[in-house]
């Protein structure tokens, strides 16, 4: 099929594609999504085919305003309203009990559903115009880094989806934060555009799921099914190096071979002559790193690098989300650069 490229003047056409059961690339503030009507099981089934996504990995339902929550969820706790009030529209997904009308294919048979109201106004406008909640995973082929521009999404999806609505580059660059509100205490399943500190300012203590920071053990089942798959991975193997930025940079400079790829903070880019260097942004600015991480990982695939080294930020604020994406891209192959080691 020919994938049509739409812009903001063509919202009605984009909405018609969703209503007719088609697949639409949608811009959000986090990453581009691969959307279909969340009430149309067949259309949602085609999302899984286009991505090559395992059937047991549920999708997030996107809604244009918090008042739609009650149509698709039940037993909504006060914490959900408090979070919606503070962070919606925005990069936050809440896992809640689902209403019966949400198709099984969306939730992969779970009795919960991930709900998100995106901050990108074009995204909310097209969903409201379609009049249906939009089920959408990130718009990459399963396993690849998520797309943060329409061009990146077309690298994976050209010819596989009906159209893409170009809303410009994504402002956040990593996916939404996922918080599960169905248990005794709120649990962070995936760090993202809303920080753990921001969540805790509303909720008090939030448990961080082990899958955020560690490799799952053989046979272990994560609470967000998607956390068990290898993710965001460029073709070449990635090694993440943690520690103070000057130390991780020195470690990589001492160990990288000529021709390797290096993903580093801007301040250290000059230390790797002979390597293919991609910049994450300033070591001081994890928000900037979040905007660059996926594009940089993708660009290595167009180069002959045999190995990639990545400097990793500390896990405060948005650093937790950036570190999580890098660690997953590396299959949790992490080296701690300590004093004197370099
Ligand atoms: O920012 C985002 O959230 C983007 C944009 C397009 O909105 N979407 C996104 O979707 O990242 P996806 O499918 O790539 O990642 C969703 C993650 C998966 O790990 C999935 O397993 C988890 O959310 N998830 C979805 N529904 C869930 C549920 N009911 N319970 C637990 N985890 C869930
Ligand atoms: Mg994804």
Q: What is the pLDDT of residues 25-66, one digit of tens each?
A: 999 999 999 999 999 999 999 999 999 999 999 999 999 999
At 298-311, the pLDDT tens digits run 999 999 999 999 99
CA dist 325 → 14, 159, 183, 247, 297 (Å): 30, 28, 25, 21, 10
Q: Could you identify the residue written with the tokens 């080294």?
A: 309
Q: Check if 222 has its Cβ closer than 6 Å to any atom of ligand 1.
A: no
Is the CB of residue 321 less than 8 Å from the CB of residue 329? Answer: no
Residue of 180, 224, 227 best suited for mutating to test ligand 1, as the one with most atoms within 8 Å of CB? 224
Residue of 54, 58, 136 best suited for mutating to test ligand 1, as the one with most atoms within 8 Å of CB? 58
Q: Check if 328 has its Cβ closer than 6 Å to any atom of ligand 1.
A: no
204: left (phi over 0), alpha (psi -120 to 50) or beta: left
Q: What share of the chain is helix, strand, coil (3-state, %, to 5)?
A: 35, 20, 45
At 110-149, the pLDDT tens digits run 999 999 999 999 999 999 999 999 999 999 999 999 999 9
At 228-276, the pLDDT tens digits run 776 788 899 999 999 999 999 999 999 999 999 999 999 999 999 999 9
Return d(Cα 20, Cα 129) in angstroms, integer: 13
Q: What is the pLDDT of residue 339?
A: 58
- Please state whether beta strands 134-135 and 33-37 pair in parallel, antiparallel, or not at all (unpaired): antiparallel
Q: Check if 58 has its Cβ closer than 6 Å to any atom of ligand 1.
A: yes
CA-based radius of gyration for the chain: 20
> Of ligand 1's atoms, which has the minimum distance to the CA of residue 224?
32
Q: Check if 95 has its Cβ closer than 6 Å to any atom of ligand 1.
A: yes
Residue range 66-82: average pLDDT?
98
Residue 215 pLDDT more than 90?
Answer: no
The helix or strand, by DSSP H or E, that contains position 190, with its residue range, turns out to be strand 187-190
Tokens of 87: 């962070």
Q: Check if 178 has its Cβ closer than 6 Å to any atom of ligand 1.
A: yes
Q: What is the pLDDT of residue 340?
A: 54
CA-nearest residue, atom 22 of ligand 1 = 224
The CA 270 to ligand 2 mean position distance, Å, reads: 33
Q: Check if 182 has its Cβ closer than 6 Å to any atom of ligand 1.
A: no
Task: Give the bridge partners for 287, in sequence order.
Answer: none
Residue 295's CB: how many other CB atoms inside 10 A? 19
Nearest ligand, CA 294: 2
Mean residue pLDDT of the chain comes to 96
Q: Check if 320 has its Cβ closer than 6 Å to any atom of ligand 1.
A: no
The CA 118 to ligand 2 mean position distance, Å, reads: 15
Sheet containing 276-281: give its strands across: 276-281, 261-265, 308-311, 238-242, 334-336
The CA 229 to ligand 2 mean position distance, Å, reads: 10
């Amino acid at each position: 099929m020919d994938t049509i490229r739409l812009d903001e003047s063509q919202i009605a056409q984009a909405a018609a594609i969703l209503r007719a059961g088609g697949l639409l690339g949608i811009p959000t503030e986090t990453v581009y999504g691969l959307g279909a009507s969340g009430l149309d099981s067949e259309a949602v089934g085609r999302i899984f085919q286009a991505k090559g996504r395992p059937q047991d990995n549920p999708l997030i339902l996107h809604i244009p305003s918090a008042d739609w929550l009650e149509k698709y969820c039940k037993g909504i706790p006060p914490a959900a309203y408090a979070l919606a009030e503070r962070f919606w529209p925005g990069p936050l997904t809440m896992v809640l009990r689902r209403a019966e009308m949400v198709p099984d294919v969306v939730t992969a048979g779970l009795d919960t559903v991930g709900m998100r109201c995106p901050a990108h106004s074009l995204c909310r406008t097209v969903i409201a115009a379609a009049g249906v909640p939009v089920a959408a995973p990130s718009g990459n082929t399963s396993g690849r880094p998520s797309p943060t521009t329409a061009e990146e999404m077309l690298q994976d999806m050209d010819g596989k989806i009906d159209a893409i609505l170009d809303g410009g580059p994504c402002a956040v660059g990593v996916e939404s934060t996922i918080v599960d509100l169905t248990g005794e205490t709120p649990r962070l399943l995936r760090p993202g555009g809303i920080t753990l500190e921001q969540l805790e300012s509303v909720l008090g203590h939030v448990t961080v799921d082990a899958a955020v920071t560690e490799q799952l053990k053989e046979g272990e089942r994560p609470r967000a099914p998607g956390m068990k798959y290898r993710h965001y991975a460029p073709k070449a193997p990635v090694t993440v190096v943690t520690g103070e930025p000057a130390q991780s940079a020195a470690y990589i400079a001492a160990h990288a071979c000529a021709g390797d790829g290096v993903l580093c903070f801007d301040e250290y880019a000059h230390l790797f002559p002979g390597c293919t260097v991609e910049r994450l942004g300033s070591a001081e600015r994890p928000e900037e790193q979040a905007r660059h991480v996926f594009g940089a990982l993708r660009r290595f695939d167009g180069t002959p690098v045999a190995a990639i080294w990545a400097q990793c930020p500390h896990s405060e604020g948005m650093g937790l989300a950036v570190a999580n994406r890098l660690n997953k891209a590396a299959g949790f192959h992490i080296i701690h650069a300590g004093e004197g080691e370099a």
